[in-house]
Amino acid sequence: MPSPQLWVVSLGTVPYADALELQRSVAAQRISGEVSEDVLLLMEHPPVVTLGRSTRNANLTASPELLKARGVELFEVERGGDVTFHGPGQLVGYPIIDLKRHKEDLHWYLRTVEQALIDTLEALGIAAGRNTGYTGVWTGGKKIASIGVHARDWVTWHGFALNVTTDLSYFDLMVPCGIPDVTMTSVARELSPSSMTVSKVGDVAARAFARLLSLEPVYFDEWPTHPAPTNRARER
């Protein structure tokens, strides 16, 4: 029997609305069985603020006028968690995972996403870990990655945002993740000077996810028209 796969789809920069439509579509296909393997969508977004189900209005401190002046879009979405930012220089990952094939436990899944990011950062030379009581990944008391997920029929979507070369000043528009006095950081800030790019970090993260989920990674540069591995898949 062939090994179960993780389809790693690296899409470059994608407008948030298009990414949201894509991940919802892929999740629906995963639920129906039309997509036969787990998927990890990797991308960057133009500047955008997203509000999760737990967002308190006070945690978005910027006015609509200020968001517009800085070219930041605003979306309310179904993921868990509070307000956060996505933008250039940030690795955004949307794992679309059928937990029925792994473990039907969202807490286990959240810890697995955290561990994949912790392992990724360790491979880059950054010591990272968890912060008791919070979801996400931290280093030296600063938050470097945020996580917010949603699931239906045990299939997940939404996911994580790992700051690589992100302009951290965008986080001044909010109380990031609803955590007062949190300090955000990035791979570039922790490793300065650093030659890390979002693409390079994405490769490391994909391997970490595949390893923790006991899956064989198969790589694509676009979402395949017919959802099956083709000659567009490439080994890494």
Helix-helix angle 198-212:106-124, to 10 degrees? 130
Catalytic (active site) residue 177: yes
Structure tokens at 158: 């939404």
Burial 82-110 (b: 16+ CB within 10 A, else e): bbbbbbebbbbbbbbbbbeebeeeeeebb
> What tokens does 192 get?
């300065």
CA-closest candidate to residue 167, choices 146, 180, 184: 184
Kindly name the residue from 128, 137, 162, 177 that is annotated as catalytic.
177
Three-state secondary-structure class, residue 134: coil
Query: What are the residue numbers of the active site?
Result: 177
